[in-house]
Amino acid sequence: MKKVLYIGFDDTDSLRGSCTTHLATLIIHEIFDQVSFLDFPNLIRLNPNIPYKTRGNGAVALRIEGEEKDLEYCKEIVIDKVKNLSEVDDENTNPGIAFVENIIPKEIIVHSQRAMWDVISIKEAEEFSSFSNVEIIKFKLGRGIIGALGAIGNPLKGDFTYEHLSYREPKKFGTKRLIDSDSIYSADKETPLTFNNIDYEYDSIMILPRGADPVFTGIRGETVEEVRKAYSLIKPLEKLPMQMVFRTNQHTNQHFSEKFSINELKPHISAIVDAEVTKEPRYIEGSHLIFSVSDSTGIIDCAAYEPTKRFRGQLSKLRIGDKITVFGGIRPAEKSHQMTINIERLKINELVKNNKLESPFCSNCNARLKSAGKNKGYKCPKCSTKFRELLPNVTEIPRELKLKDYLPPMIAQRHLTKPLVRKNRDNTSKQKQKIEINNILADLVKN
């Protein structure tokens, strides 16, 4: 009798190298002939503000079906690969694995939803080991079990995207990635349903990572077909032994699900805050932009840092009284600053009027009037006529900002940030059928 097994693992990489998706791809190659896949491998990005993450705080979930003996074999492969290929020599790498059989407990789904924006302790995640169908395996501190369970509990029932990842030969890890750059520009133009391939504003190629990890390219898009087509159009100048497609919550804003009052904010969460500008933007050392906002419960600083480039210039035009919605991560207070919202995106809901006050003109000689003193009206400098009842002329100067969303440039956006090109896109309910998934995965594994 066939059973369903959900596999999650996380915290296997480090800033020196390795990659959780690469590990997942190696596992898929080992187990593909033994089981059926219920979904593409899932790459689940969790709260990006967690201080002990490596790069994008991504965990992987595999959802498979098979005979009990084959599922046990898969468990052994996962444990072996995680144990032997994780960067366990790095003090900040603490891998964790979770196995869930047949039905995902609703408590794990709640855990996953919370893991998108909150900070969860290892102890809290360990409590799931008491469930009869849940098995948890820790290496070192085992912090990875938080993400492992978070990935399993996120079935991507809402919006999602795809990412095609290609991988390098081990001897190439840490060296410059070699590719025909022109082919990337051509592929981008030929695949309108891919996105974030190139930041044209800063002429920066985005599909090539810059670290020492095994990934050669990462191509993101709305459909499996489109990301694979884009990959077929680029021209690598080195051998790439493996590739895989992941279904993912990247670029969906999934981490922005909770609204908070200012007095409810706490360090490292991802938060949405409706507020009013109470202190105008100012630049500080390092070319970072700081301003303050408030609601009925308190006041807090907001920051747009130098890497966000022109985003800072746009937000510098905010004025006291503007009503906005801030989306960002909460930076804890330190000696040099108080608790701050690190802005990822900002929506302008209402702008105060920018009025210019000018003295009126003399009705006798048409000269510009001068103030006659406080509460004394105006006096004409040319004919000396006094006007006690006149009020200044009010001219409204158009604001440069608009009632819309503002985002940093592509080079400064996070993995979960929903780019403007996806504003009206949503893939909810567009998941593929199991047979189609397995056919595509078979092709990826063989090629």
Decide if 143 is inside a domain: yes
Count other Cβ atoms within 10 Å, centred on residue 201: 11
Q: What is the average pLDDT across 162-168?
A: 98
Decide if 443 is inside a domain: no
* pLDDT tens digits, one per residue of 359-413: 889 888 888 889 888 888 899 998 888 898 888 888 888 999 999 999 999 999 9
Residue 27 sits in the same domain as residue 147: yes
Determine the length of the chain: 447
What is the H or E stretch that residue 108 is in?
helix 106-115
Any bridge partners for residue 331, and if so which? 340
- Within 13 Å and on the Cβ side, how many CA atoms surround 1? 2
Domain termination residue (choose one: 248, 275, 294): 248
Residue 149 sits in the same domain as residue 82: yes
Query: pLDDT band at 210, cuts 50/70/90?
Result: confident
Decide if 59 is inside a domain: yes
Residue with tokens 């006007």: 387
Residue 85 sits in the same domain as residue 203: no
Decide if 82 is inside a domain: yes
Burial class (CB in 10 A: 0-12, 13-18, 19+), 213: buried
Residue 294 sits in the same domain as residue 183: no
In this predicted structure, the answer to whether residue 356 has a pLDDT above a threshold of 90 is no
Which residues span the domain enclosing 390?
Answer: 356-394
- 3-state SS, residue 5: strand
Question: Are 240 and 167 contacting, i.e. CB atoms less than 8 angstroms apart?
Answer: yes
Decide if 77 is inside a domain: yes
CATH number at residue 219: 3.90.600.20
Decide if 432 is inside a domain: no
Model pLDDT, residue 92: 83
pTM for the predicted model, two decimal places = 0.92
- 3-state SS, residue 91: coil
Least Cα distance to 23 among 41, 48, 35 occurs for: 41
Q: What is the average pLDDT across 311-337?
A: 95
Between the CA of residue 190 and those of 118, 411, 427, what are the distances in Å? 39, 22, 21
Residue with tokens 């590719």: 179
In this predicted structure, the answer to whether residue 53 has a pLDDT above a threshold of 70 is yes
* pLDDT tens digits, one per residue of 87-125: 888 888 899 999 999 999 999 999 999 999 999 999 999
* Residue-by-residue DSSP string for 342-380: EEEEEEEEE----EEEE--B-TTT-PBPEE-STTS-EE-
Please count the helices (runs of H) and the strands (runs of E) in the chain: 9, 23
CATH number at residue 342: 2.40.50.1010
Q: What is the average pLDDT across 244-262?
A: 97
CATH number at residue 15: 3.30.70.2200
Domain termination residue (choose one: 218, 248, 278): 248
- Please state the domain count of the chain: 4
Residue 167 sits in the same domain as residue 269: no
Residue 405 sits in the same domain as residue 381: no
Residue 349 sits in the same domain as residue 365: no
Residue 9 sits in the same domain as residue 152: yes
Decide if 102 is inside a domain: yes
Tokens of 183: 């082919």
In this predicted structure, the answer to whether residue 338 has a pLDDT above a threshold of 90 is yes
Q: What φ, ψ does residue 149 adopt, rounded to 5°?
A: -70, -35
Residue 346 sits in the same domain as residue 270: yes
- Poorest-pLDDT segment among 10-19, 47-56, 206-215: 10-19
Rounded to the nearest integer, the mean pLDDT of the chain is: 95
Residue 240 sits in the same domain as residue 180: yes
Model pLDDT, residue 15: 65
Residue 278 sits in the same domain as residue 373: no
Question: Are 405 and 421 contacting, i.e. CB atoms less than 8 angstroms apart?
Answer: no
Residue with tokens 């003996």: 69
Decide if 423 is inside a domain: no
Domain termination residue (choose one: 156, 183, 198): 156
Residue 310 sits in the same domain as residue 233: no
Residue with tokens 């097994």: 5
* Residue-by-residue DSSP string for 207-263: SS--SSSSEEEEEEESSHHHHHHHHHHS-BSS---EEEEEEE-TTS-TT---B--GG
